[in-house]
Chain A
Amino acid sequence: MKPRNTLLTALAIAIAALALWFADGTLGSFAMRILNLSAIYIVLSLSLNLVNGFTGLFSLGCAGFMAVGAYVSALLSMTADVKEMNFFLEPLTPFLQNLSLPFPLALVAGGACAAIAGLIIGLPVLRLRDDYLAIATLGFSEIIRVLITNFQSLTNGAQGLKNIPRKATTWTVWGVAAATVAFMALLTRSSYGRQLKAIRDDEIAAEAMGVNVFRVKVVSFTISSFIAGVGGALLGHMITTIDPKMFTFMLTFNILLIVVLGGSGSITGSVVASIAITILMEAMRFLDGPLNLVFLKTDGLPGLRMVVFSALLMAVVLFRQRGLMGDRELSWDGLAKAGLLPRNKKGGMA
């Protein structure tokens, strides 16, 4: 990297951290929650982008892996009393009843279990082609949900889990989001990342060039599941209640919306879209309530907000298929070229 860019990146991170610190101190808890939610969406959209955008696999299983991560992390970190309160219909299996891990360990365990689920699911389905893969991963995601609903003594079934420790603080979620961004940037710009993109561009040519296509796909899918699991776990530790109904296809759809809008194959695109969409989703809540637009008065149309978002996705796919960023990234060099930064005088070759 050019010294200028390293400097600018360090500066940007410092400014972001400072802004976050400032926001944490001044914004109300509701606004902070939305800001933190966008950090979790960054994690989740990067997870989906790794598979859909960088590896070219159309997976719709995101919600299932999130559910695995959320449940595992919640069950491992709740105290024995809270568990007892939750499981009033049928007691939790004794093994888990008295196990209570520190939050970071529970979080990693959530990701790891999601990764294992991803591996188990990936081995059979990653041999399938595009739309079959989509429907099979969607199917598995639903199967996970049905299993969670029915394993009363392990998951508390349809009642879900309440009073999950509120551990996903501002610094935790943004730290995880930053780590995920860094991980993705390093991975996609490495020799290994090039293999992912090769599969996306032309699977047959990639295989002929000696890329072990199936294995690389499985690795990508498993890593993505891990990240989705961590994201799901963070979500649980932020809103403190989870139940199987949360993890329907609708959730995958929201994340897909972010990835497509930001540009599949673009990390910065996902980051920007995560923040924009999360804030927009909240800002547009007024649409569901009574409207008074002078010429148009309604007394609340619940669902109008989602209409707007579905229409937005349709519009992007139809008119700007490649999303905000396409597969490009926001970069210092790009900004410099656009004249938004002073020209680099000293910097030599990359």
Chain B
Amino acid sequence: MKLKTDAATMRFGGLTAVSALDLEIDSGEIVGLIGPNGAGKTTAFNMITGVYAPSEGKILFEGRDMTGRSPHSITEAGIARTFQNIRLFSTMSVLENVLVGCAVRERPNWFNSVLRTPGYRKRSKASHDFAMELLAETGLAELADEKATSLPYGKQRRLEIARALASRPSLLLLDEPAAGMNPQESIDLMNFIRRVRDRFDLTILLIEHHMQVVMGICARMYVLDYGVTIAHGTPDQIRRDPKVIEAYLGVE
């Protein structure tokens, strides 16, 4: 089991944003998390990645308890993410953005960095090579020295994925990777996600609104509504689930 959330619940004051979420994701799966706006999907991501500590319940990653750990230590353990509203480092180049992701493996300290010790040089060279490899993989290699925020929207999304991959995760969380894309771009993205999964031996959990994308690449999915898991199963099961139809279309 890659990831398991055990009745993970998040409350803000009187509002329960996510209640008793039970995800179970196996190694190598691509799983979708869907639901109407405000259903608590991003909050679920924030719990898994440590941005919020769950009010109740547990987060288990590869059998280890991650509940309440800080986001950077969770990334170090092997979970990486992208953001719904792209959060690239705006003053940095494309390459530098990816290099920041490498740092969690490189573990630079300030003293060696300033002295440029042989160990530092070796490790930073390795990071640099890996970052270039990731940029090649995501089709951004020629843009390495461009300012990250000058990229078109679709490429910024890819860069966010490259940056997340730089931390060498085994579980990747994608928050609406297809947002703002046209149908052709979405299809490209699906292929890209599959390729990345195979190439880097990943497990992927993604939030998505484009049904075409989710149904296209997810073997299984969970549906949230008002923080409650109202269904889970294969795309076919979800499509026919009356509760899901009701949540999306409203009660007739």
Interface, chain A (partner B; CB < 8 A): 183, 186-187, 190-195, 197-198, 200-202, 204-213, 219, 223, 265, 327
Chain B residues whose CB sits within 8 angstroms of the CB of A183 once the complex forms: 114
Asked whether, in the complex, the Cβ of A191 is within 8 Å of the Cβ of B103, the reply is yes
Q: How far is the CA of A207 from the CA of B88 in the complex (A)?
A: 12
Residues from 84 to 104 in B contacting A, C-beta threshold 8 Å: 87-92, 96, 99-104
Q: How far is the CA of A223 from the CA of B110 in the complex (A)?
A: 10
Asked whether, in the complex, the Cβ of A201 is within 8 Å of the Cβ of B90, the reply is yes
Given A190, A200, A205, which contacts B108 in the complex, CB threshold below 8 Å?
A190
Is B182 in the interface zone, CB < 8 Å from A? no
Chain A residues whose CB sits within 8 angstroms of the CB of B110 once the complex forms: 187, 190, 192, 219, 223
Asked whether, in the complex, the Cβ of B114 is within 8 Å of the Cβ of A209, the reply is no
Chain A residues whose CB sits within 8 angstroms of the CB of B167 once the complex forms: 209-210
Residues from 35 to 53 in B contacting A, C-beta threshold 8 Å: 49, 51
Chain B residues whose CB sits within 8 angstroms of the CB of A190 once the complex forms: 108, 110, 113-114, 116, 120, 124
Asked whether, in the complex, the Cβ of A194 is within 8 Å of the Cβ of B87, the reply is no
Asked whether, in the complex, the Cβ of B104 is within 8 Å of the Cβ of A210, the reply is yes
Is B229 in the interface zone, CB < 8 Å from A? no
Check A205/B87 contact, CB under 8 A, given A187-B113, A192-B110, A193-B113: yes
Interface, chain B (partner A; CB < 8 A): 49, 51, 70-73, 75-76, 80-81, 83, 87-92, 96, 99-104, 106, 108-110, 113-116, 120, 123-124, 127, 163-164, 166-167
Asked whether, in the complex, the Cβ of A204 is within 8 Å of the Cβ of B51, the reply is yes
Check A191/B72 contact, CB under 8 A, given A204-B51, A205-B87: no
Q: How far is the CA of A327 from the CA of B49 in the complex (A)?
A: 32
Chain B residues whose CB sits within 8 angstroms of the CB of A208 once the complex forms: 49, 51, 71-72, 75, 80-81, 83, 87
Asked whether, in the complex, the Cβ of B108 is within 8 Å of the Cβ of A207, the reply is no
Chain B residues whose CB sits within 8 angstroms of the CB of A186 once the complex forms: 113-116
B175 to chain A, nearest CB (A): 11
Given B80, B90, B99, which contacts A191 in the complex, CB threshold below 8 Å?
B99
B234 to chain A, nearest CB (A): 30
Q: How far is the CA of A211 from the CA of B80 in the complex (A)?
A: 12
Asked whether, in the complex, the Cβ of B87 is within 8 Å of the Cβ of A210, the reply is no
B163 to chain A, nearest CB (A): 7
* Given pairs A194-B103, A195-B100, 20 additional interface contacts (CB within 8 A): A186-B116, A190-B110, A190-B113, A191-B108, A192-B113, A197-B91, A198-B89, A204-B87, A207-B72, A208-B71, A208-B72, A209-B80, A209-B100, A209-B103, A209-B167, A210-B75, A211-B104, A212-B72, A212-B73, A265-B91
A219 to chain B, nearest CB (A): 6
Chain B residues whose CB sits within 8 angstroms of the CB of A187 once the complex forms: 110, 113-114
Asked whether, in the complex, the Cβ of B109 is within 8 Å of the Cβ of A192, the reply is yes
Chain B residues whose CB sits within 8 angstroms of the CB of A210 once the complex forms: 72, 75-76, 80, 101, 103-104, 167
State the main secondary structure of chain A at its contact with B.
helix
Q: How far is the CA of A205 from the CA of B75 in the complex (A)?
A: 11
Question: Closest 7 A-B residue pairs measured CB to CB?
Answer: A210-B104, A190-B113, A210-B75, A191-B108, A192-B113, A201-B89, A205-B87
CB-CB nearest in chain A for B166 = A209
Given B101, B108, B115, B120, which contacts A209 in the complex, CB threshold below 8 Å?
B101
Q: Which of B87, B102, B109, B115: most chain A CB closer than 10 A?
A: B87
Asked whether, in the complex, the Cβ of B76 is within 8 Å of the Cβ of A195, the reply is no
A298 to chain B, nearest CB (A): 46
Asked whether, in the complex, the Cβ of A209 is within 8 Å of the Cβ of B75, the reply is yes
Chain A residues whose CB sits within 8 angstroms of the CB of B73 once the complex forms: 212
Q: Which of B70, B71, B76: most chain A CB closer than 10 A?
A: B71
Chain A residues whose CB sits within 8 angstroms of the CB of B72 once the complex forms: 207-213
Chain B residues whose CB sits within 8 angstroms of the CB of A198 once the complex forms: 89, 92, 100
Q: How far is the CA of A249 from the CA of B166 in the complex (A)?
A: 43
Q: How far is the CA of A195 from the CA of B109 in the complex (A)?
A: 10
Asked whether, in the complex, the Cβ of A197 is within 8 Å of the Cβ of B92, the reply is yes
Chain B residues whose CB sits within 8 angstroms of the CB of A197 once the complex forms: 89, 91-92, 96
Q: How far is the CA of A213 from the CA of B164 in the complex (A)?
A: 17
A147 to chain B, nearest CB (A): 29
Task: Pull 18 A–B residue pairs with CB atoms less than 8 Å apart, ordered by A.
Answer: A191-B113, A191-B127, A192-B114, A193-B113, A194-B99, A198-B92, A202-B87, A204-B51, A205-B88, A207-B70, A209-B75, A209-B163, A210-B72, A210-B75, A211-B72, A211-B103, A211-B104, A212-B72
Asked whether, in the complex, the Cβ of A206 is within 8 Å of the Cβ of B109, the reply is no
A269 to chain B, nearest CB (A): 14
Q: How far is the CA of A187 from the CA of B112 in the complex (A)?
A: 9
Q: How far is the CA of A193 from the CA of B83 in the complex (A)?
A: 23
Chain A residues whose CB sits within 8 angstroms of the CB of B81 once the complex forms: 208
Q: How far is the CA of A187 from the CA of B51 in the complex (A)?
A: 29
Given A191, A192, A194, which contacts B92 in the complex, CB threshold below 8 Å?
A194
Q: How far is the CA of A221 from the CA of B210 in the complex (A)?
A: 45
Q: How far is the CA of A210 from the CA of B88 in the complex (A)?
A: 14
Chain B residues whose CB sits within 8 angstroms of the CB of A213 once the complex forms: 72
B101 to chain A, nearest CB (A): 5
Q: How far is the CA of A191 from the CA of B113 in the complex (A)?
A: 7
Q: How far is the CA of A208 from the CA of B104 in the complex (A)?
A: 10
A240 to chain B, nearest CB (A): 32
Q: How far is the CA of A250 from the CA of B88 in the complex (A)?
A: 36
